[in-house]
Amino acid sequence: MTALLAVIDTLWLPLSTVSLDPGNIGHLAKAGLGFLSAYLIGKFVLYRLRNDTGRSAGVLRRGAKGLITLVPILAMFMALGFVGAIFTYLASATNRPLIDGQLAAIDAALGFHWPSFLEAANASPVFANALVIAYHSLAPQFIGLLLVYCAAQRADRALEFVALLAVSFMFTAGLMALFPTSGAYAYFRPMPEAFEAFTAKAGMWHYADLLRLRSGEPFNLLVSKAEGLVTFPSYHTVVAIMIVYSLRIVPIAAGSAALLNAAMIVGTLPEGGHHLTDVIAGVMVALVSILAVRAVVDRQRNKAGLEPATISTEVY
């Protein structure tokens, strides 16, 4: 998936108003050096303590093994994130009509009115604050998930999660390219007092970049400063569901994650500035991605002569 995105980016860049800032090379080099240093430190610790049978040495060896496991996982994720961010900027550099009006109409047909929901959520500061915290918990959850898997020497679980991210992003990238949107805040333009319980730039942190990209003027992209431009479908919704799915064999953790991520999905509406249709599309992308990854894993297990994995007991 990463290689495919890299090829698409390479072919698309010369035809686009987007260009890559030379500073990207330095940032990639620093990240690569950091990954290599961490890997070598882990290897050195294992070598240095290879004959030490003490308890402290055992703890350090376990930490070193976790670090060695984590480095390639993070490297794969960074590569996916890098080419994926470039794709979102290329796909957003278009003058095709935005479809927010159609999405709002679908929401209305479903009985949902975004401004009314925003007003209701904003009326309760406690509820609004809970949604803000849940919405912005995505990055800590993701990092925590990978750290726990690598500390537990479960590279298989971490790799499955990265595979889910890769597959789901491909679906998301295709949809965002086909259906350009600006988000509910840009479409409805509520007054500041209507969302004062939420963050100042709720749902609008991407808007300045989006307008520049759609204006046709040259855009120099430094990926480390890229904004999340995906509004349709809601990628927060996609990842929220996949985190819970990834924790499915740990019922206690899965239950807590389900509550937190349910709040995150609700938070995508007032804090993320998503239409309800964005959320529904995100749910569909998550389910299709999970089925796709499971199909590949089950096929590999069949080739190995193993039984297909089940949701409650699978260990890849």
What's the pLDDT tens digit per position in 204-258?
999 999 999 999 999 999 999 999 889 999 999 999 999 999 988 787 888 889 9
pLDDT above 90 covers a percentage of the chain that reads: 70
pLDDT on residue 153: 80
Q: Residue 68: name the closest of 44, 48, 98 by CA.
A: 44
The 10s digit of each residue's pLDDT in 100-143 is 999 999 999 999 999 999 999 999 999 999 999 999 999 899 88
Indicate the helix (H) or strand (E) that contains 297.
helix 276-303
Which tokens go with 88?
A: 């979102």
For residue 216, count other CB atoms closer than 10 A to its CB. Answer: 11
Judged by DSSP in three states, 181 sits in coil
Band of pLDDT at residue 314, cut at 50, 70 and 90? very low
Token digits of residue 310:
């089940």
pLDDT average, residue stretch 135-156: 87
- Cα separation of 233 and 250, whole Å? 28
- Which tokens go with 221? 């992209």
Question: Phi and psi of 227, rounded to 5°?
Answer: -100, 160
| Confidence band of 307 (pLDDT split at 50, 70, 90) | low
Structure tokens at 148: 């726990």
- For the beta carbon of residue 244, count every other beta carbon within 10 angstroms: 20
The terminus-to-terminus CA distance of the chain in angstroms comes to: 21
Question: Rounded to whole angstroms, how far apart are CA atoms 182 and 82?
Answer: 22
Cα–Cα distance measured from residue 9 to residue 266, given in angstroms and rounded to the nearest whole number:
33
- Please state, in angstroms and rounded to a whole number, the distance separating the CA atoms of residues 17 and 219: 6
How does pLDDT run across 156-196, given as a tens digit for each residue? 888 899 999 999 999 999 999 999 999 999 999 999 999 99
- Report the alpha-carbon distance of residue 159 to residue 170 in Å, rounded: 17
Q: What angle do CA 282, 285, 286 make, to 5 degrees?
A: 85
Per the structure block, which two tokens stand in for 1?
A: 């998936």
Separation CA 193–CA 118 (nearest Å): 11
Of 2, 63, 68, which Cα lies nearest the Cα of 35? 68
Of 187, 5, 172, 179, whose CA–CA distance to 114 is shortest?
187
Three-state secondary structure call for residue 295:
helix
Q: What is the pLDDT of residue 19?
A: 94
Residue-range domain boundaries for the chain = 2-303
Answer whether residue 66 shows pLDDT above 50.
yes
When computed from its CA atoms, the radius of gyration of the chain, rounded to whole angstroms, is 21
What is the Cα–Cα distance from 159 to 260, expressed in whole angstroms? 23
Per DSSP, the three-state class of 50 is coil
Q: Is the pLDDT of residue 76 over 80?
A: yes
φ/ψ (deg, to 5) at 108: -60, -40
Range 47-56 average pLDDT: 85
- How many residues are present in the chain? 316
